Amino acid sequence: MSFKAKIEETAKKNASHTVLNLDFPFQNPEHWQNLLAKAQNVLYAVHPYICAVKINHHLVLPLGTFDGVQQLITRIHEKGLPAIMDCKANDIGATNQVIAEYYYAAGFDALIANPFVGWEEGLKPIFDVARKQQRGVILLAYMSHKGAIEGYGQTVYDAKTGKKTPQYVAFAKKALEWSADGVVVGATVPEKIREIREILGEKVPIYSPGIGVQGGAAETALKAGARYLLVGREITLAQNPAEIAIKLRSLQTV
């Protein structure tokens, strides 16, 4: 089963398009087992109300890919959820291929990559590995932080058409061309979600981060065309994570 099919199946089963971002503040690396326990506790509390879990450097650096993180992936899969690695792969092809092979070997079902590096000797090796192993690749189109405008929001020259175009529009078109499994567009820029949704249609789903702490609103992102909500600190730092996850689910129509 493809990653797109897997996450959509889980979304329907749990009646939720919320992806849990297991993000936590810095802690003493010597206490990594406490961090692992904290991540597992949040997972156990909210797993019935989400459709996937995303992990990034907040956990990979202190826990280790084939140590604590792989244990966590096992727990995620036991709950019937896919796991996404937010590594933002952004290197030459040979390095990107090794990155993908290691993360997929650890059990991740998909990873996030940065289209700035291009296709040939860039992201193509990641897609090749992903397709061979039936894993997913999600591309960044417009991130959720304010500085995103300096890169993703810049105007670029399109060599194919000879016209100027916003960088995020070019990336959305590449997501279609490369048959990506999703694109990331910040909930903080609903107008960009709407514009990119018009380009992608139903072919490539939009994953939208920046809910809550960064100022993005779940309802606004969904109305603009986001398919999945990437939610981290709003849930992980809450006194009652399940309550927040249930509230988010109530806003969605699956």
CATH code of 43's domain: 3.20.20.70
Residue 128 gets the label, from left (phi > 0), alpha (psi -120 to 50) or beta, of: alpha
76-82's contacts with Cβ under 8 Å and 24+ in sequence apart are 76/43, 77/107, 79/43, 79/44, 79/47, 80/10, 80/13, 80/47, 81/10, 81/47, 81/50, 81/51, 81/52, 81/53, 82/3, 82/6, 82/7, 82/10, 82/51, 82/52, 82/53, 82/109, 82/110
Q: In the prediction, which pLDDT does 32 show?
A: 78
**Which pair of structure tokens corresponds to residue 127?**
């897609």
Q: Specify the residue for token string 């699956």.
A: 254
Q: Are 11 and 17 in contact (CB under 8 A)?
A: yes
At 159 the pLDDT is 80
Q: How far apart are CA 42 and CA 116, in angstroms?
A: 33
Confidence at residue 158, expressed as pLDDT on a 0 to 100 scale: 81
As a whole number of angstroms, the distance between CA 188 and CA 147 comes to 12
- Catalytic-role residue among 38, 79, 88, 124: 88
Reading the block at residue 199, the tokens are 């380009």
Q: How many domains does the chain have?
A: 1
What does pTM read for this prediction? Answer: 0.96
Mean pLDDT by 10 residues, the chain (254 residues): 96 97 88 90 98 97 95 98 98 98 98 97 98 98 93 89 92 97 97 98 96 89 97 95 95 74
88 given a catalytic annotation:
yes
pLDDT at 60: 96
**Domain with 236 in it:** 3-250
What pLDDT score does 254 carry? 54
Cβ-contact 36, 68 below 8 angstroms:
yes
